[in-house]
Amino acid sequence: MEKLLSASEIAALKIPGLPTTRAAVNVMAKRDGWEFELATGIGGTRRLYRLPAKYLPPSTQDSQQRPAAPVVGTIVRGSSQVDMHKLELAIKAVDTWEQTRDAKIDADRRPAVITVLYEFLVKSEGSDDAAIDVVLRALG
């Protein structure tokens, strides 16, 4: 099942190439014609967007779609470069953690957990395995 996200949720993910404010996400989504559904709740109606595949990690993209252009480097403050190896490690580590504990991280928390793990991997000076262990032990 595909997750629909509000503009605020998309901005909070801080995905390279996407704006980091709700208003800017709404402008980009309208300009680029993103698919959305209307959701009515407390406070009125809001748009929930399907994030275009080009902004998703390769493991979540449909295999029929064109492969994403490779990105090289690590995240640098003020840039959009991503160390794809470390990002893939973070995603696989969270998947493994869920499988070995027969548990699921709440879908709303999962991107934040992956982000924290990724940032820790980028900043850690030790091995990737040791860094992963430290963060995943904090999950319980």
| Residue 16 to residue 87: CA distance in whole angstroms | 12
Would you say 119 and 131 are in contact if contact means Cβ atoms under 8 Å apart?
no
Q: How far apart are CA 57 and CA 139, in angstroms?
A: 22
Residues 56 and 116 in one domain: no
Which pLDDT does position 20 carry in this prediction? Answer: 92
Dump pLDDT digits (tens) for 27-44. Answer: 999 999 999 999 888 888
Helix or strand or coil: residue 90? helix
- Write the DSSP assignment of 45-74 as a string of letters: EEEEEPPPGGGS-GGGS-TTSPPPPP--S-
- Which of 28, 53, 69 represents a domain boundary (last residue)? 69
Read off the pLDDT band of 69 (50, 70, 90): very low
pLDDT of residue 49: 93
Whether the CB-CB separation of 88 and 114 falls below 8 Å is answered with no
Q: Which of 45, 69, 93 is the last residue of a domain?
A: 69
**Do 62 and 4 share a structural domain?**
yes
* Domain span at 82: 71-140
pLDDT (tens digit per residue) in 112-129: 878 877 777 777 766 667
